[in-house]
Amino acid sequence: MDAPAPFDPPERLLCGPGPTNVDPAALEAMRRPMLGHLDPALHEMLLELCALLRSAYRAEDAEVVLPLQATGTSGMETGIASLVEPGETVIVGVNGYFGRRIAEIARRHDADVVEVTADWGEHVPNACLLNALHEHRDARLLAVVHAETSTGVEHPLAELGAEMRDADTLLMADCVTSLGGVELEFDAWGIDYAYSCTQKCLGAPPGMSPIAFSAQAAERARSRSTPLGFNFDLDLLTAYWTERPATYHVTVPILHIYALHEVLRGLAEEGLENRWARQAEAGARLQERVGEMGLELLAEPEHQLAPLTAVRVPEGVDGKAVQAELLARGIEVGGGLGPQAPAMWRLGLMGPNANVETADRLADAFAEVLAAVGPRAAERPLAAATD
């Protein structure tokens, strides 16, 4: 075939569940000179990057903190594969799409999975998780989603970690939509394994998964009786990322590493608490504006996530038509994820988009489109149907 024209993507304001728009500083960093993956200059920067990740996770006491050369789901699977062997018990809090994915991955690794469930939009009570732990004292891992991207629910992780301090069971947390977006204290909360991504609250391109192992989790991973796969073997990862001289493992995505380093530098300059506050302010503004439109949020108010707001689609409104019209205006928002999801929109304000100006721009466009697509939401009962 003849060579096609260069791809010219349209401009979008990405206000869905992620990816978000990339921080301009990260895009500029990716224009810097390419280095080889065995270049000592790159290796020095990798040490700095891992130190910045420790600060972002508040994981100074963690045994290992580094970014996988993979997406967030790979970080999820790395935790299961590293910490659980076939036939061992895993307790999973399931109140949305990604809790269910953890359970599915654990089953694929031949674990005995105990699901502790709650309806979409509700949190899984810690008391129920602890009851399951009491009933399954041999459980090797208890996994929860700190920030459920499919529903906008934030789990009370600090309280769960405090209750599990003396347990032999390890605590795993999905932090895909919480790292850099809401308060997260790996050390203080007693988390044993956490994973995240780069394309949400950090504001970098997708393609890497920051992970953290406590000393107990690292020991568990290194003392497995069955071998772990090559790509995500903890010893092979640390031999390249944190030990010097570095030992070749795989060819890492160097330009993505530049971008991640740059957004973590920006996070350090802004200050972690300031970033959390900015995310909280933007989320609160959007949620206030959505309420003024007569729309109902999916998440319980006391467990509402700041970076991601799930909004129920009112009865009589074509949710996909609203999304399509917003996209025609250059704004992307998300819909419900998976066949069990209630009819909803998912609105995200993450990374460089986490500010009140973007919240107002999104809310203004949303109000205009709702008025054009259907009758006012406040004049109709809300839908109970699912997509």
CATH at residue 331: 3.90.1150.10
- pLDDT per position as a tens digit, 251-296: 999 999 999 999 999 999 999 999 999 999 999 999 999 999 999 9
pLDDT-derived band at 376, boundaries 50, 70, 90: very low
> Does the pLDDT value for residue 377 go beyond 50?
no
Note whether residue 125 is domain-resident: yes
Split into its structural domains, the chain has a count of 2
Is 42 contained in some domain? yes
In a domain, 382, yes or no: no
Do 31 and 162 belong together in one domain?
Answer: yes
pLDDT tops 70 at residue 380? no
Is the link from the previous residue into 301 a cis peptide, with omega within 30 of 0?
no
How is residue 28 written in tokens? 């500029």
pTM given for the model:
0.95
DSSP secondary structure of 171-195: EEEE-TTTTTTS---TTTTT-SEEE
C-alpha distances in angstroms, 260 versus 24, 115, 149, 188? 12, 34, 21, 25
Q: What's residue 89's pLDDT? A: 99
- Positive or negative torsion for Cα 55, 59, 64, 68: negative
How far apart (Å, rounded) are the C-alpha atoms in residues 9 and 27?
15
* 127-154 per-position pLDDT tens digit: 999 999 999 999 999 999 999 999 999 9
Tell me the β-bridge partners of 310.
346
Cα–Cα distance, 317 to 295 (Å, whole number): 12
Instruction: Say whether pLDDT at 86 is over 90.
Output: yes
Q: Residue 234 maps to which CATH number?
A: 3.40.640.10
Both 372 and 338 in a single domain?
Answer: yes
Average pLDDT, the chain: 96
- For 206-236, write each residue's pLDDT tens digit: 999 999 999 999 999 999 998 889 999 999 9
Structure-block tokens of residue 386:
């699912």
Domain boundary among 206, 236, 268: 268
Listed in sequence order, the residues at least 6 apart from 366 whose beta carbon sits closer than 8 Å to its beta carbon are 290, 293, 322, 326, 333, 347
Show which of 234, 268, 302 is a domain's final residue.
Answer: 268
**154 and 236 assigned to the same domain:** yes
- ∠ Cα 240 260 11 (to 5°): 140
CA distance 311 to 348: 11
Q: In 10 A of CB 384, how many CB atoms?
A: 9
Q: Please check whether residue 96 lies inside any domain of the structure.
A: yes
Percent of the chain with pLDDT strictly greater than 70:
96
Hey, is 117 helix, strand or coil?
strand
Could you tell me which of 200, 231, 192 has the C-alpha nearest to residue 77?
231
Q: Which domain-ending residue is among 268, 286, 311? A: 268
Tokens, residue 130: 């602890």
d(CA 49, CA 37): 15
Nearest to 282 by CA among 331, 346, 332, 349: 349
Place of tokens 């319980």: 300
Dist. CA 332–CA 325, nearest whole Å: 9
Average pLDDT value for residue range 176-199: 99
Instruction: Report the distance separating Cα 131 and Cα 159, nearest Å.
Output: 15
**pLDDT value for 341:** 84
What value does the mean pLDDT take over residues 331-342? 92
What is the residue range of 109's domain?
24-268
CA 184 from centroid of its chain's CA atoms: 12
Contact (CB, 8 A) for 67 and 211: yes
> Tens digit of pLDDT for each residue in 147-178?
999 999 999 999 999 999 999 999 999 999 99
- Residue 375: the pLDDT is 58
Q: What is the pLDDT of residue 385?
A: 32
Q: What would the pLDDT profile of 50-62 be if each residue is shown by its tens digit?
A: 999 999 999 999 9
214 shares a domain with 109: yes
Domain shared by 64 and 153, yes or no: yes
Q: Which of 97, 331, 54, 340 is CA-nearest to residue 211?
A: 54
Burial annotation 336-368 (CB, 10 A radius, 16+ → b, else e): bbeeebbbbbbbbbbbbbbebebbeebbebbbe
On the question of a cis peptide bond just before residue 206, with omega within 30 degrees of 0, the verdict is no
Between β-strands 308-312 and 209-213, what pairing exists: parallel, antiparallel or unpaired? unpaired
CB proximity list for 280: less than 8 A, separation 6 or greater: 182, 306
